[in-house]
Amino acid sequence: MSDIKAVIRHLPKCELHIHIEGSLEPELMFALARRNGITLPYDSVDALRRAYQFSQLQDFLDIYYQGMSVLITEQDFFDLAWAYLQRAQADNVKHVEMFFDPQGHTSRGVAFETVVAGLYRACRQAKESFGIDATMIMCFLRHLDEADAERTLDQALAHRDKIVGVGLDSSERGHPPSKFKNVFRRAGEAGFHLFAHAGEEGPADYVWEAIDVLGVERVDHGVRSLEDPVLVRRLARDRIPLTVCPLSNLKLGVVSKLADHPLQRMLDSDLVVTVNSDDPAYFGGYVGENYTAIQSALNLSEAEVRAVARNGFNAALMDDDERAKALAVFDTPPKKA
């Protein structure tokens, strides 16, 4: 019988739902705080880790934005992304599309250019050092108004060569995707790929809005889509990928235990499901650990695990030649038990 953990470890993977600020490990947070003369409201790494007890998305966001305060210089943003990309390489990740939240930095007086330069330098180095194709997706914070998002888009236009897409994240409840329909229209016209978080804490209706009002090509999370059978059929028919984050869903109370996670039902409904880590420093696992945890909880077969990994490459922003080369690895049939 094949060792499923070894299979997972060696499978090539995509990471399509990673908030780079959410990969800020406590040790690096304290190191950057010391470097920048910032005092954190915790006296140790252990005390900070103990604060990672979340009952809902907002609990996490409060400490997530607090952690951002240590990110000041271009080197800080490089160090943040480089630390994550090293972890990704260890998980055999071949392609990364990382989210970043510029409004969380520009609101603190950090220049947009500083954020982009540091992250982009790390992406280039990952390509040179590891062969990882890493790109950047700028997210709008949905708890802020659309006018703020419009100003952020204006800043991003000068960096169109470095930023491949725009997304929508932060507090979902009470902030439907349609709130941002105008800025998403402008972003699409400017040539950015479009994505949005929907159907995590928000209802299935938000997934409909993300697809039909914003025109996204991928839905981030989307686990509540199963509450609407018509939506499920639409997602399956149009092959709209869902970037699912199992350990995040567990940590934030979207599911009470991983055995209740809907990923198996999503696969059974012919949805294009991918597995990702979301905010791994806060939720207890990078992408490989998410694969291992959900496989164990749902007793996924090797064929199902391979299908999920393959979905990642089908859902990624890759040209046809790159995709064909990546998928060729999966053409070897899985080992029989």
Positions annotated as catalytic residues are: 200
Non-local (6+) Cβ contacts of 78 within 8 A are: 118, 119, 121, 122
- The torsion defined by the Cα of 99, 101, 105 and 107, in degrees rounded to 10, comes to 170
Instruction: Please report which residue ranges of the chain form alpha helices under DSSP H.
Output: 4-10, 26-36, 45-50, 57-67, 74-90, 103-106, 112-130, 146-156, 181-189, 204-209, 229-238, 246-251, 263-268, 280-283, 287-298, 302-315, 320-328
State residue 201 phi and psi, 5-degree precision. -95, -25
What's the rounded Cα separation, in Å, for the pair 82 and 74?
12
Question: For residues 105 and 113, is the Cβ–Cβ distance under 8 A?
Answer: no
State residue 164 phi and psi, 5-degree precision. -90, -20
State residue 155 phi and psi, 5-degree precision. -70, -35
| 77: DSSP letter | H
Cα angle vertex 188, ends 126, 111, to 5°?
Answer: 55
C-beta atoms surrounding 335 within 10 Å = 11
Q: Which of 103, 113, 109, 194 is nearest to 142 (CA)?
A: 103
Amino acid (one-letter) located at 315: A
Helix (DSSP H) and strand (DSSP E) numbers for the chain: 17, 8
What's the rounded Cα separation, in Å, for the pair 266 and 253?
19
Q: Which of 138, 97, 148 is nearest to 277 (CA)?
A: 97
